[in-house]
């Protein structure tokens, strides 16, 4: 009876109706991860973590017991993995090991679309400021437009925004919704005639030396151009160097699979620490979700319109859909463009061109994150 009395007393004294809403949000994230296969490696642990941190007197967050402060497990993980940016940077090693830069090295002119498709960052920054967010919070929200979850975490944490949870959920949710958001935007910004443009693909061999030198040179150039991006770009490129060097295949495989999955798991659980009901259930959260959608849409429009601009001066036309693949959501965006091309013309194979732009977006997103930190920080 004493146990049930304690349970009842705990529920009455410490329960907040907002916890029920957060349980529902956590359940929704778990549902989307399992049933809809939307970024399950991240949304599943975030969803479960949301439930953990929104239990009465939850032992996973800091609390006071009998007048004595006690650190919770997620509090410790947050301080040691998110607050110092360790988890996102380690994850970049795994992501770098997964990326094949061959398509962009074989067709370097498409690298420019990686920059063009970051337009959504600056559009979201402007709208966030107009909606009343202060500049640092606006910059943290705007980086959702990088379409890169780890970069969003690093930038949001650098500016010490209280909206980290909402920003991460928005970033990964819209990455998962790329197959829905991008086709709508592409059709809105192009004509059928433009979508039918065929692009020749002349595969060129890329030497091993080139593949090894590329991550080293990109790190040096990015470091000189945007010193604040060195950590982001450097860890990404180090992971790629593991892949391409040819003498650390075991480490490369570990980085791609075991390391990336384990860190993503911890990242998801830890990010939920910032999603307590009193901080998350605000009007600003809905505004951030809306601004995230704006950022993704303007990313797509920016890439498409830039391709159309280039076509005014080029004899060999670029299919504007390829410009949309310049976001960092790899490989989802390149697959979307390829499928749309085949739907318009079954003989129009855009995959390698789109993959080149998509890989360029991976680099551009981390550089953009560094630039935002340098310019506003």
**What is d(CA 297, CA 188) in angstroms, rounded to the nearest whole number?**
11
| pLDDT score, position 6 | 57
| pLDDT score, position 375 | 85
Q: Are 156 and 140 in contact (CB under 8 A)?
A: yes
**What is d(CA 97, CA 255) in angstroms, rounded to the nearest whole number?**
7
User: What's the chain's average pLDDT?
Assistant: 87
pLDDT average, residue stretch 299-326: 92
Q: Which of 52-66, 88-102, 185-199, 247-261 is predicted with the least confidence, judged by mean pLDDT?
A: 52-66
Q: Give the position of tokens 């032992």.
A: 59
**pLDDT at residue 335 above 60?**
yes
**pLDDT at residue 314 above 60?**
yes
**pLDDT at residue 187 above 90?**
yes
**pLDDT at residue 377 above 80?**
no
pLDDT grade, residue 134 (50/70/90)? very high
Q: What would the pLDDT profile of 341-356 be if each residue is shown by its tens digit? A: 999 999 888 888 888 8
Per the model's pLDDT, the better-predicted residue between 180 and 34 turns out to be: 34
pLDDT grade, residue 3 (50/70/90)? low
Write down the pTM of the prediction: 0.84
Per the model's pLDDT, the better-predicted residue between 3 and 18 turns out to be: 18
User: Nearest to residue 367, comparing CAs of 210, 231, 217, 172?
Assistant: 231
Q: Are 133 and 127 in contact (CB under 8 A)?
A: no
Q: Which of 46-55, 241-250, 265-274, 303-312 is predicted with the least confidence, judged by mean pLDDT?
A: 265-274
**pLDDT at residue 36 above 60?**
yes
**Exposure on the CB side of residue 109, measured as CA atoms within 13 A:** 8
With a pLDDT cut of 90, the percent of the chain lying above it is 42
pLDDT average, residue stretch 74-97: 88
Bridge pairing between strands 63-65 and 68-70: antiparallel
Domain boundaries, the chain: 71-376
Q: What would the pLDDT profile of 264-310 be if each residue is shown by its tens digit? A: 899 888 888 888 888 888 889 889 999 999 999 999 999 999 999 99
pLDDT average, residue stretch 87-105: 90
In this structure, what are the phi and psi dihedrals at residue 345, rounded to the nearest 5 degrees?
A: -150, 110
**Neighbouring residues of 284: CB distance < 8 A, sequence distance ≥ 6:** 133, 163, 166
| pLDDT score, position 164 | 87
| pLDDT score, position 259 | 93
Q: What would the pLDDT profile of 140-169 be if each residue is shown by its tens digit? A: 999 998 888 888 888 998 898 989 888 988
pLDDT average, residue stretch 45-60: 88
pLDDT average, residue stretch 35-59: 87
pLDDT average, residue stretch 194-202: 87
User: Nearest to residue 156, comparing CAs of 173, 133, 177?
Assistant: 133
**pLDDT at residue 8 above 60?**
no
Q: Give the position of tokens 């791609």.
A: 256
| pLDDT score, position 64 | 67
pLDDT grade, residue 34 (50/70/90)? very high
pLDDT average, residue stretch 361-376: 87
Q: Which of 4-8, 20-24, 38-42 is predicted with the least confidence, judged by mean pLDDT?
A: 4-8
């Amino acid at each position: 009876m004493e146990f049930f009395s304690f349970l009842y007393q705990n529920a009455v004294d410490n329960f907040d109706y907002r916890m029920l809403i957060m349980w529902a949000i956590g359940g929704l994230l778990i549902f989307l991860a399992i049933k809809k296969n939307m970024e399950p490696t991240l949304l599943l642990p975030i969803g479960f973590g949301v439930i953990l941190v929104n239990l009465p007197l939850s032992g996973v967050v800091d609390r006071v017991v009998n007048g004595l402060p006690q650190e919770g497990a997620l509090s410790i993980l947050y301080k040691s993995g998110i607050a110092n940016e360790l988890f996102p940077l380690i994850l970049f090693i795994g992501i770098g090991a997964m990326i094949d830069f061959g398509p962009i090295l074989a067709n370097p002119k498409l690298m420019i679309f990686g920059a063009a498709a970051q337009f959504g960052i600056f559009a979201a920054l402007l709208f966030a400021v107009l909606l009343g967010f202060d500049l640092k919070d606006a910059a943290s929200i705007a980086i959702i437009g990088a379409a890169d979850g780890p970069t969003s975490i690093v930038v949001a944490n650098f500016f010490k925004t209280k909206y980290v949870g909402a920003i991460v959920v928005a970033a990964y949710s819209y990455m998962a919704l790329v197959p829905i958001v991008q086709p709508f935007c592409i059709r809105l910004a192009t004509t059928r005639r433009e979508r039918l443009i065929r692009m020749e693909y002349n595969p060129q061999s890329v030497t091993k030396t080139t593949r090894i030198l590329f991550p080293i040179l990109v790190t040096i150039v990015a470091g000189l151009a945007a010193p604040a991006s060195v950590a982001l770009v450097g860890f990404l490129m180090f992971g790629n160097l593991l892949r391409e060097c040819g003498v650390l295949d075991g480490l490369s495989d570990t980085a791609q699979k075991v390391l990336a999955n384990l860190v993503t798991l911890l990242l998801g659980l830890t990010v939920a620490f910032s999603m307590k009901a009193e901080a998350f259930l605000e009007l600003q959260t809905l505004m951030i979700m809306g601004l995230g959608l704006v950022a993704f849409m303007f990313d797509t429009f920016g890439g498409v319109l830039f391709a159309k601009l280039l076509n005014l001066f080029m004899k060999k036309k670029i299919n504007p859909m390829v410009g949309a693949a310049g976001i960092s959501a790899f490989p989802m965006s390149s697959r979307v463009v390829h499928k749309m091309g085949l739907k318009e013309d079954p003989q129009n194979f855009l995959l390698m061109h789109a993959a080149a732009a998509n890989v360029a977006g991976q680099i551009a997103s981390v550089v953009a994150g560094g630039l935002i930190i340098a310019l506003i920080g």
